[in-house]
């Protein structure tokens, strides 16, 4: 027999506290690991899009030259020059970026602890369902992060560097601005790609329906356009790059809500 054992409320709180402490410890360990490997974190990953040999730029050069047959010179001829103008700017970026990275790479363990907490209260059917949801969320979030890093960030940096109102000012990126572009683009796209999961949960609790999503599809397009413009500098190419996956995700959400 598989009987569920009822625990007192304070026992649940104690178990949750222990799991939260374990998550914090893992985050701190991950953070320290990243701090000890700052060459990989910063030189290779964070400052990767600032280098002329970044894979996205090389791929774009190949496409424009060999497929589109257009020889464009609007690419980085040398690595970007990034400056720090604050006394503790580099140290603050070092700590903050390591903390965010520690949280991101600790996600699998955090999900594991969350699953361990709610698992005893679920039936076999609910357990199977939750496993699928967690897996889908992980895939969507990871896809959004990769999209933000390899597609959105290079276009934002490229546009910010080459757009000029005059030949007099020189575009030299500040360290804090550059880090903000990278982290915001990556995390925002990761969250945006979770949109179908949000729609699924809202439809499950009857707060939203397929009919509602279908009826206000045009209004939703306007909202998506505003969000895409807010994330990007506002140029048409970057806006379209963000808008396309948002439209696809909305259509997926329509399909999901119809299957409720």
Burial of 233 (0-12, 13-18, 19+ CB in 10 A): middle
Q: Give the per-residue pLDDT at 254.
A: 81
Band of residue 1 on the pLDDT scale cut at 50, 70, 90? very low
**DSSP code, position 18:** H
User: pLDDT digit string (tens) for 206-224?
Assistant: 777 778 888 878 888 888 8
Q: Give the per-residue pLDDT at 16.
A: 83
**Residue boundaries of the structural domains of the chain:** 9-193
Q: Tell me the two tokens of residue 182.
A: 């990278």
Q: Give the per-residue pLDDT at 194.
A: 86
User: pLDDT digit string (tens) for 126-169?
Assistant: 677 777 778 888 888 889 999 999 988 888 888 888 878 888 88
Q: Is the pLDDT of residue 15 over 90?
A: no
User: Mean of the pLDDT values across residues 77-91?
Assistant: 87
User: Mean of the pLDDT values across residues 82-111?
Assistant: 89
Q: Is the pLDDT of residue 105 over 90?
A: no
Instruction: Supply angle C-alpha 74, 83, 49, rounded to 5.
Output: 45
User: Mean of the pLDDT values across residues 184-198?
Assistant: 85
Q: Is the pLDDT of residue 5 over 70?
A: no
Mean pLDDT of the chain: 82
Tokens 């990275």 -> residue:
101
Q: Give the per-residue pLDDT at 2.
A: 46
Q: Give the per-residue pLDDT at 6.
A: 60
Q: Which of 187, 215, 210 is nearest to 199 (CA)?
A: 210
Q: Is the pLDDT of residue 106 over 80?
A: yes
Q: Is the pLDDT of residue 75 over 70?
A: no
Side-chain-facing half-sphere of 118: CA atoms under 13 Å: 12
């Amino acid at each position: 027999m598989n009987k569920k054992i009822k625990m007192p409320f304070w026992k649940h709180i104690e178990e949750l506290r222990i799991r939260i402490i374990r998550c914090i410890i893992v985050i701190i360990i991950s953070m320290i690991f990243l701090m000890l490997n700052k060459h990989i974190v910063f030189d290779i990953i964070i400052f990767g899009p600032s280098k002329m040999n970044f894979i996205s730029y090389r791929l774009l050069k190949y496409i424009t030259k060999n497929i589109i047959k257009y020889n464009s010179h609007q690419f980085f001829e040398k690595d970007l020059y990034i400056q720090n103008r604050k006394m503790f700017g580099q140290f603050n970026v070092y700590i903050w970026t390591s903390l965010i990275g520690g949280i991101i790479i600790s996600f699998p363990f955090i999900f594991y602890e969350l699953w361990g907490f709610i698992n005893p209260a679920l039936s076999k059917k609910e357990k199977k369902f939750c496993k699928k949801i967690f897996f889908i969320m992980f895939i969507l979030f990871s896809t959004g992060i990769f999209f933000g890093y390899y597609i959105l960030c290079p276009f934002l940096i490229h546009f910010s560097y080459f757009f000029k109102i005059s030949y007099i000012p020189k575009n030299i990126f500040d360290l804090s601005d550059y880090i903000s572009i990278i982290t915001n683009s990556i995390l925002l796209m990761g969250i945006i790609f979770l949109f179908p999961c949000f729609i699924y949960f809202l439809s499950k609790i009857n707060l939203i329906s397929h009919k509602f999503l279908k009826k206000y599809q045009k209004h939703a397009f306007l909202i998506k356009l505003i969000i895409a413009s807010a994330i990007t500098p506002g140029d048409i190419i970057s806006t379209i790059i963000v808008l396309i996956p948002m439209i696809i995700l909305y259509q997926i959400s329509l399909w999901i809500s119809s299957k409720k």
